[in-house]
């Protein structure tokens, strides 16, 4: 590789010249990509359309509603409306509030219904009827995997929303797909030491697990992490995603010999299963001479609000928390700007789902801007190996080998005495990036290949 080519590529990945800090990037690939023969839904007028495909119905609808709020806010900021949010803190500084490559950003929405088939149908309609050039959203990993596969086939970029299964950037990874949200392995890596500190290394765990890709990989990851501490896994019971009453699954737990219950559930499922567990007296129970404990590996402020007082004392993990910058300082810059913009528009702080969707929208727009083209393969090149900061998580890398973001992971616990309905979760620890980083061919992520970028038509 010539020195000039190396310098060009480094500018695209970091926005910094050799020896410089992250700075305004140079646009160098636009002319080359503009010579391409065409790509799916190439914008020709003064606007560009993005597709936001979220669960507006189903067990994850609360998360979907917050995602839509964040998408709307991101579009406003890209178009130069509002206070600009994270545009001013984002290290790249390629976005100026003038749309994307001078085109005003428009968007369409769809309802995934938290169902893979419905999500694919909605995404296909966006591509074929609405002419979207990028799709984002979703709060289910089953949905994410399905839509990511469709976007790969169609030649559309997929900027995944809330998807936590290892498979999204593991066996089901695709060249046209990118994930900012963390994954089940990273949750387990962060939570393992905290669980040992809280509960010791002599515990017996019982798992209730949502019966789809996210539940399976979350349970697998948590089991591996806790057995490495010396814990024993007593049982793992799969529960249908459509379940609303988990009483029949909770009843056998106290007779199982377990003293910890893992609820590998999300959204409304977690609110219902935790409620049932508390109704059965698990939070006050004793087992094996110890206080019985409940763990929810992944939960959000939205879920905490739904669970109410039941969330008190329950440990879990998050991709981001709205209190990060206030509590832990400048490293997590961008957080306060986003919280302020979101709060002024909607009257309450954003969830982790809102945050990752807002960030993904900016990251896509920034990649297009730096590449000088909407061509999906130009976007892929711009995002692979991209290092950035100022979007609320601290320094972050979009790893080229699997399109997974690597950044700090937040371990939380439900507050015992919250001050208000938006202050239900406390930050216990922030686990540094290096402690949650793994080889791209780790066994939990094996079996898939990115393949080649598909520009479509």
Domain ranges of the chain: 35-182+328-407, 185-318
- Structure confidence at residue 37 (pLDDT): 52
Determine the 3-state secondary structure of 35 from DSSP.
Answer: coil
DSSP 406-441: E--EEEEEE-SS-SSTT--EEEEEEE-GGGG---TT
Q: What span, in angstroms and rounded, lies between the C-alpha atoms of 137 and 139?
A: 7
Q: What percent of the chain is modeled with pLDDT above 90?
A: 87
- Structure confidence at residue 11 (pLDDT): 43
Question: For residue 94, what are the CA distances in angstroms to 160, 214, 303, 412?
Answer: 22, 35, 35, 34
Two tokens, residue 358: 């807002």
- pLDDT tens digits, 227-280: 999 999 999 999 998 899 999 999 999 999 999 999 999 999 999 999 999 999
Q: What percent of the chain is modeled with pLDDT above 70?
A: 92
| Summary mean pLDDT of the chain | 92
CATH topology (fold) of 35-182+328-407: Rossmann fold (3.40.50)
Burial (CB < 10 A; 0-12, 13-18, 19+), residue 5, is: exposed
Read off the pLDDT band of 24 (50, 70, 90).
very low
CATH topology (fold) of 185-318: Rossmann fold (3.40.50)
Read off the pLDDT band of 35 (50, 70, 90).
very low
- Structure confidence at residue 19 (pLDDT): 32
Asked whether residue 14 carries a pLDDT value surpassing 90, the answer given is no
Asked whether residue 183 carries a pLDDT value surpassing 70, the answer given is yes
- Structure confidence at residue 59 (pLDDT): 85
> Strands 286-287 and 260-264, how do they pair?
unpaired
DSSP assignment letter at 448: -
CB 169 within 8 A of CB 183: yes
- Structure confidence at residue 80 (pLDDT): 98
CB 206 within 8 A of CB 253: yes
- Structure confidence at residue 141 (pLDDT): 92
Determine the 3-state secondary structure of 20 from DSSP.
Answer: coil
- Structure confidence at residue 2 (pLDDT): 36
Read off the pLDDT band of 39 (50, 70, 90).
very high
DSSP assignment letter at 203: -
Asked whether residue 286 carries a pLDDT value surpassing 90, the answer given is yes
- pLDDT tens digits, 321-361: 999 999 999 999 999 999 999 999 999 999 999 999 999 99
Domains 35-182+328-407 and 185-318 are alike in CATH topology = yes
- Structure confidence at residue 60 (pLDDT): 87
Asked whether residue 159 carries a pLDDT value surpassing 50, the answer given is yes
- pLDDT tens digits, 288-318: 999 999 999 999 998 999 999 999 999 999 9
Nearest Cα to 389, choosing from 352, 335, 439? 335
DSSP 95-154: --SS-BTTBEEEEEEEE-TT-HHHHHHHHHHHHHHS--SEEEE-S-HHHHHHHHHHHHHH
- Structure confidence at residue 305 (pLDDT): 92
Q: At what angle do helices 376-383 and 3-14 cross, to 10 degrees?
A: 90
Asked whether residue 4 carries a pLDDT value surpassing 60, the answer given is no
């Amino acid at each position: 590789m010539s020195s000039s080519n190396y310098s060009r590529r480094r500018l695209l990945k970091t926005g910094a010249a050799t020896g410089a800090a992250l700075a305004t990037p140079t646009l160098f690939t636009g002319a080359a990509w503009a010579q391409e023969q065409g790509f799916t839904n190439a914008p020709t007028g003064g606007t560009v359309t993005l597709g936001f495909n979220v669960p507006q119905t189903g067990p994850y609808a609360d998360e979907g509603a917050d995602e839509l709020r964040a998408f709307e806010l991101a579009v406003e900021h890209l178009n130069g409306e509002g206070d600009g949010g994270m545009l001013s803190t984002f290290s790249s500084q390629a976005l100026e509030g003038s749309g994307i490559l001078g085109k005003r950003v428009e968007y369409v929405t769809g309802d995934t219904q938290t169902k893979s088939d419905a999500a694919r149908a909605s995404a296909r309609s966006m591509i074929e009827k609405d002419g979207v050039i990028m799709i984002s959203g979703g709060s289910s990993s089953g949905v994410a995997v399905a839509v990511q596969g469709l976007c790969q086939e169609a030649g559309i970029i997929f900027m995944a929303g809330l998807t936590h299964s290892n498979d999204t950037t593991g066996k089901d990874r695709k060249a046209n797909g990118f994930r900012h949200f963390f994954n089940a392995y990273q949750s387990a890596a962060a939570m393992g030491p905290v669980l040992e500190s809280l509960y010791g290394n002599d515990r017996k765990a019982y798992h209730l697990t949502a019966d789809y890709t996210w539940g399976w990989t979350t349970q697998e990851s948590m089991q591996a992490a806790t057995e490495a501490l010396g814990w024993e896994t007593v049982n793992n019971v799969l529960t249908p995603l459509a379940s609303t009453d988990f009483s029949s699954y909770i009843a056998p737990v106290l007779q199982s010999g377990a003293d910890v219950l893992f609820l590998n559930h999300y959204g409304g499922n977690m609110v219902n299963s935790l409620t049932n567990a508390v109704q059965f007296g698990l939070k006050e129970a004793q087992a094996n001479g110890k206080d019985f404990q409940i763990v929810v590996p992944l939960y959000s402020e939205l879920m905490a609000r739904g669970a109410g007082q039941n969330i008190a004392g329950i440990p879990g993990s998050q991709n981001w928390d709205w209190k990060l910058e206030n509590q832990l300082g400048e490293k997590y810059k961008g957080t306060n700007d986003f919280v302020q913009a979101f709060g002024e528009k909607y009257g309450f702080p954003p969830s982790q789902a809102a945050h990752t969707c807002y960030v993904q929208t900016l990251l896509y727009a920034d990649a297009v801007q730096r590449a000088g083209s909407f061509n999906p393969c130009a976007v892929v090149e711009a995002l692979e190996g991209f290092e950035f900061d100022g979007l609320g998580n601290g320094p972050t890398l979009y790893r080229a080998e699997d399109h997974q973001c690597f950044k700090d992971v937040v371990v939380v616990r439900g507050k015992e005495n919250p001050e208000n309905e938006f202050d239900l979760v406390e930050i216990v620890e922030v686990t540094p990036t290096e402690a949650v980083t793994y080889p791209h061919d780790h066994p939990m992520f094996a079996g898939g290949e990115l393949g080649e970028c598909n520009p479509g038509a």
